[in-house]
Homo-oligomer: A and B are copies of this chain.
Amino acid sequence: MEPLTERQQQVLNYVSSCLDQNSCPPTLREISEHIGTAGTVTAMRHLEALEKKGYVQRREGSRGIALTNRPNIPVPLPVVGTVRAGAPEPAIEDISGYVSVDPSWIKGTGCFFLQVKGDSMIEAGILDGDLALIQPQPIADNGQIVVAMIDGEATLKHFYREEDHVRLEPRNRNMASIIVSEAEGFTIIGKLLKTVRNYS
């Protein structure tokens, strides 16, 4: 990454500290005041330089500053107990909390944690109560574990596309595979990225 001038570094640091303290980027005038310059032009120039060098991304509107390179700052993801049919992202009222995870864990946007219910995947090492990190997506590859919506219930299953139907395979010798023909009240919510289990 291109090196910064002292002044640019100062601005970048200030933006960063604002985000840490207020979870809100500063205004041009706040930056100006902090680095001791009058007007807003200078601050804006520094931001332009920071953007050109790739340290910052700017949006339209007030306080439209975002840092591009915040490595390893955990991303808070919602934890839900249930998933609603048709909804690509978790319903607001279902969110029971937030868990921050390493950004390297997630892919794309809209990831969330789903609390696993039942023993259908017990032989794949996924137990009742585990947290499943889900990346929302409407399709899946063969063999992947997906969250699928069947009869208004969200379940974790292995996904296999076969001829004219889809087979959702549990990993529990007491349970049978579920065969669904596509587009009949069946949706893939997303695919499984990680599972987390809590002890103690």
Contact = CB atoms under 8 A, between A and B. Distances in A.
Interface string A118-154: 0000100111001000000000000011000000000
Contacts of A174: none
B92 A73 contact: no
A73 B20 CA distance: 9
Contacts of A76: 16, 20, 70-72
Nearest to A65: B24
A64 B19 CA distance: 12
Given A74-B75, A74-B100, 12 more contacts: A16-B98, A20-B72, A23-B72, A24-B25, A27-B61, A27-B62, A71-B76, A72-B98, A72-B100, A101-B101, A194-B197, A194-B199
Interface of A: 6, 9-10, 13, 16, 19-25, 27, 59, 61-67, 70-76, 92-93, 95, 98-105, 109, 122, 125-127, 130, 144-145, 191-200
30 contacts: A9-B93, A10-B92, A13-B92, A13-B95, A16-B98, A20-B72, A21-B109, A22-B66, A23-B67, A23-B72, A24-B24, A24-B64, A24-B65, A27-B61, A62-B62, A63-B63, A73-B74, A74-B100, A99-B104, A100-B101, A122-B125, A125-B127, A125-B197, A144-B199, A144-B200, A194-B196, A194-B197, A195-B197, A196-B196, A196-B197
